[in-house]
Structure 1
Amino acid sequence: MSDTPSPDFSGLEGGAEQQAIDIVRSVVSWYNSELVAERRSPVPDEERVEALKAGRQVALEDQRRLEEADAQETARIAAAYAARLKELKES
C-alpha cells in the first residue's frame, strides 16, 4: 500500500449529484442523436434542427450550473431532467 494521499473528492455530494449529471447528459445525448438523424435525412427540417440545438444548449447550460449547485438545486434539476428525458423518449 502506498502512502500517497488519495485525490480530494470533498466537492462531491455523492450519488445525487452524479445522478443529476447523468440525467442531464442523457438529455444532451438524446438531442445530439436527434440532430444527427435530422441532418442526415434527405430533407432536413431546419426548424426542428434549430429547436433541437436550442434544447441542447439549455441542457448544456444546466449541466454547467450543476457544478456549483447546492443540494436543493441539484435535486430540482435532476427531477426536471428525469421528466424531460421520459417525455423525449416517449415522443
Structure 2
Amino acid sequence: MHDPATPDPQSAPDHTPGSLPDGQDGAAGHEAAVELVEKVIAWYSRRMLAERRAGAAGETLSELAARRQACLEDRDRLEDADARETARLAALYAARLKDLESPAS
C-alpha cells in the first residue's frame, strides 16, 4: 500500500534543474511552492483535528504531527532555497497534495 505522505518520486513531475512547475520562475515560482507546502500543512492540520474529534489513538496523532512538522521545516527551507530546490519541493508537494486529496486517502 502506498503511503500518501511520501509520494513515489517517479510519479512526481520531472522538472529539469532550475525549472518550476507550469513554467514559473523567480518569485512567482517561490510563492507557488510555498503555497503548495502550506496546502499540505493545512491538510494535516484538518486531519489532526478530525482524528482528535474522533478519539484517535495517540500514535495516529503523533504520526500526523510529525508529518506536519516535516512540512513546516520544508516551508522554512524554501526561504533560502535555490531554483532547483524550489522546483524539487514544488514537485514533491504537488504530488503529495494530489495523493492526500484523492478519495482513497
For Structure 1 versus Structure 2, the TM-score category normalised by the shorter chain is 0.7 to 0.9
Q: Distance in 2 between matches of 1:65 and 1:84?
A: 17
Shift of 1:80: 0.3
Amino acid at match of 2:65: K
Question: How far apart are 1:45 and its partner, in Å?
Answer: 2.3
Q: Which structure 1 segments of 5+ residues have no match?
A: 1-12
Shift of 1:44: 1.6
Aligned residue number for residue 57 of structure 2: 45
Alignment correspondent of 1:88: 100
The one of 80, 91, 96 aligned to 1:79? 91
Q: Tell me, what secondary structure is at the counterpart of 2:65?
A: helix
- Paired position in structure 2 for 1:30: 43
- Normalised to the residue count of structure 1, the TM-score between the two structures is 0.82
Alpha-carbon offset, residue 82 of structure 1 = 0.4
In the TM superposition, what is the alpha-carbon distance from 1:14 to its structure 2 partner? Answer: 2.1
| Structure 2 runs not aligned, ≥5 long | 1-25
TM-score by length of 2: 0.71
Corresponding letter in the other structure for 1:33: R
Find the partner of 2:82 among 36, 48, 70.
Answer: 70
Structure number with higher relative contact order (C-alpha < 8 Å, ≥ 6 residues apart)? 2
SS at structure 1 position matched to 2:43? helix
Q: CA deviation at 1:48?
A: 1.4
Percent identical pairs in the alignment equals: 47
Runs of 4+ in 1 over 3 A off after TM superposition: none
CA RMSD of aligned residues (A): 0.8
